[in-house]
């Protein structure tokens, strides 16, 4: 591993460790029983001992590290379509996913320590931000088998991939921003509905576009 790659990896590990640091800091002040799972209405529906505060950060930290290494090593595992890709884009995307997982882990620790936290309304702005940033990166992602809209039609043609990801980038960027804003200002019930409606739209529009372009290319 190159020194620069090693430094970036160590920084990623430090970022993913932040939820653990937060959990350690508040562990002794926690009650004997804390929420460990939240239902779709945002209310806790499962409880565990205070040591369960480390469960969420452990899972998300492991997933975050796995995603980080996967995205940073696409060239090794996807050589057929990845050779022409800009590796710096995937490095930035990998680092953002680390930050997202760390932020999510920190929020889960906070929600477990403060049962009155409105989990759903607090999650939507974070998930909306994820969609928005993914939308920013989408037009820059070159064809590959792991990252992006991996539809049968986008994988069949580089032109289809590029055109579809340009369309998807705009919809995901603005859709994610809308999800984040509505998650803040709407009551839980309506923010939930808005989130899923917007998600369906930003997934359906580029998918339909990709299919229509594929059919048109075959004529």
pLDDT of residue 82 exceeding 60: no
Q: Per DSSP, what are the bridge partners of residue 38?
A: 44
Q: What is the pLDDT of residues 154-213, one digit of tens each?
A: 988 889 999 999 999 999 999 999 999 998 888 878 888 999 999 999 999 999 999 999
Q: For residues 159, 161, 163 and 168, what is the CA-based torsion angle, rounded to 10 degrees? A: 180
- Residue 117 backbone phi and psi in degrees, to 5: -65, 135
CB proximity list for 24: less than 8 A, separation 6 or greater? none
Q: Give dist(CA 127, CA 96) in Å, integer.
A: 13
10 Å CB burial of residue 64 (0-12, 13-18, 19+) is buried
pLDDT of residue 217 exceeding 60: yes
Going by C-alpha positions, the residue among 1, 122, 9 that lies closest to residue 66 is: 9
Q: Give dist(CA 100, CA 172) in Å, integer.
A: 16
> What is residue 148's predicted lDDT score, i.e. its pLDDT?
84
Q: What is the pLDDT of residues 11-69, one digit of tens each?
A: 999 999 999 999 999 988 888 887 777 666 666 667 778 888 898 889 999 999 999 98
Buried/exposed code over 184-198 (b: 16+ C-beta within 10 A; e: otherwise): eebebeebbebbeeb
């Amino acid at each position: 591993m190159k020194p620069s790659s090693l430094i970036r990896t160590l920084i990623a590990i430090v970022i993913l460790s932040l939820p653990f640091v937060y959990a350690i800091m508040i562990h002794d002040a926690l009650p004997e029983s804390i929420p460990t799972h939240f239902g779709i209405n945002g209310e806790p529906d499962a409880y565990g001992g205070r040591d369960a505060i480390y469960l969420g950060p452990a899972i998300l930290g492991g997933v975050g590290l796995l995603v980080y290494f996967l995205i940073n090593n696409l060239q090794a595992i996807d050589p057929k379509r990845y050779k022409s890709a800009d590796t710096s884009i995937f490095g930035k995307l990998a680092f953002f996913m680390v930050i997202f997982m760390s932020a999510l882990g920190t929020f889960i620790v906070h929600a477990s320590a403060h049962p009155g936290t409105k989990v759903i309304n607090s999650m939507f702005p974070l998930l909306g931000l994820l969609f928005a940033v993914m939308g920013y990166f989408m037009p820059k992602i070159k064809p590959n088998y792991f990252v992006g809209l991996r539809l049968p039609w986008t994988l069949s043609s580089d032109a289809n991939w590029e055109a579809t990801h340009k369309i998807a980038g705009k919809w995901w960027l603005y859709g994610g921003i809308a999800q984040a804003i509505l998650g803040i200002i709407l009551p839980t019930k309506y923010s939930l509905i808005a989130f899923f409606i917007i998600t369906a739209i930003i997934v359906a529009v580029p998918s339909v576009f990709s299919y229509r372009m594929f059919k048109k290319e075959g004529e």
